[in-house]
Structure 1
Amino acid sequence: MSREEVKGFARRIRKLFIEHREVERIWKRLDSMRVYIEDDEIDDEDDDKDPRHLFLTGLSGVGKSQIGKRYKKRNPGYTAVFDDEEIDIMPVIYVKLPYPFTQHAFYRKILKALGTDNLRNDARINMVKDRVLFLLKKQKTKMIIFDEMNFILRTKNFDNQTAMEMLKDLTNEHQASIVCMGTPQIEVLHTMEDEYIRRFGRDHIKKFETCDKEFCDLLKDIEDTIKPPSYIGLHEIYSELLHEYSQGRIGYLHLIIKEAYNILGVFDENCTDLSQANITAAVLKQAKYNVFRVDDHLIKPTN
């Protein structure tokens, strides 16, 4: 086997992502939110738009971030020419919120997602905000996905209500849909005011509760996607073991599989032979321990 073939196999493992039923369901909901404004030009004088917004929660490891990042990727930007000026159109942007959360860092993160952050570090907050609003309109952004909303709660010296008012202000100033992603703990932000409840819908990304046909189909899709050199039988031999180890959370499942192949040396720079890179129950057990130790991923947060 050539080094290029090994590298290709390692790349498929690293980039592993399966569009399973729950991913498709969430993506369809995001698509439906954009229908309200997708065909319109964003215009200051247009007061008829009523963009929909969403609080999207899920336990750690269910794949929230990947769902957001991949949705942005499947709705790519493009270059358009208006009045002889080339403009990078960004219909969807993905923004990982800063920690600690501050107004300045919040707007700078949006600028970076739009492909620019060339303002001076000492620029006044109003100047940074105005630049954000200008570029969101110019680049015709229809949806902003904010990930890691928990960072707002974790920033002790920043008021939660102020953060939510910043989001509300953004929706008032720029007619686009906003998606707020985080663990179920962020629900306290959603329920702070009746107005937030009215503005933002709710949805929850589910884990695979049982080792059922859907979970086994997921394992089969994973094996078909990574194309191992020899048959593993993830869905036939290791389904119950992997469900127990991953707790039905696809992010944990990916980590275990990647670590298993790391143990087998697939990611070694000098690896040119995959004949011994065989997944076994012992390898999966060691991979699970390496990633989570005994039960780190089973510990529930205290608040």
Structure 2
Amino acid sequence: MVSRTKDLENLDEEALGAMIDPQNLPRHVAIIMDGNGRWAAQKNLPRIAGHRRGIQSVREIVTFSRELGIETLTLFAFSNENWQRPSTEISQLMMLLERYLKQELKTMMKNEIRFRTVGQIERLPASVVRMIRSVEEKTEQNKKMTLILALSYGGRAEVVDAVRRIMEEFQKEKISIKDIDEELFSRYLYTQEVPDPDLMIRTSGEVRISNFLLWQLAYTELYFTKTFWPDFRRKDFLQALLDYQGRERRFGLVGEQASNSGSMQNASSPGSSGKRFLEDLNGGEEREF
């Protein structure tokens, strides 16, 4: 897909949008938002400036995903490993998170976006946890899109926590050994009731998944871009979506089997229907933290 990706880089947003097949969009997109610190370093700015600029990218991609009709968007915002960063940076990140949630609640309600979190949320500062729970509760009935922030999250920790919970249920004789299969195991993950991602995007040029959704990414299409997260915009997102639409998803089957079963997703011919996604964001005023 390298040549296709390079071809897409030469197109502007309008041309990319016109190529989108709205019937072949991923239901669930997950993004590793990487490169905030390096973006700031290249501009001789403090790291927090990169995180602030990254918030603008979050706003744009969340709103654009809602416009496109993507059902679930998961953003890897803070990993378990991030707790090893300097305490001052962690404090600044927590302040940004709390402020973002407070400011974006109105937008979530207006656009009928449900907010959820996954991870070891209890490790976050108490004020942040309160804000998270408040926004989760207020948006619980929103049905148009689900926005998930992975916070204090690690894929290995998620698996360990799932095993621990299953063992607790086993000791209480609520489940038996023969009950344990992939479906049951999935119900004990942080992402229970959430479909696995169809597309995972990682920014900044790093080509690895960094302990993100280890169980859930089994059949996910992976897309890597050199663009730092603070510079990731609608055009970059469209490039990733078009790259996804140009792939064959076989789920372990050969091409003919996948085609016959209807599980393989092919890119459709470019059509005018994609142009409906090209309207400019209304009220997209940038806010600095």
When normalised by structure 2's length, the TM-score is 0.31
When normalised by structure 1's length, the TM-score is 0.30
Point out which structure has higher relative CO (alpha carbons under 8 A, 6+ apart).
2
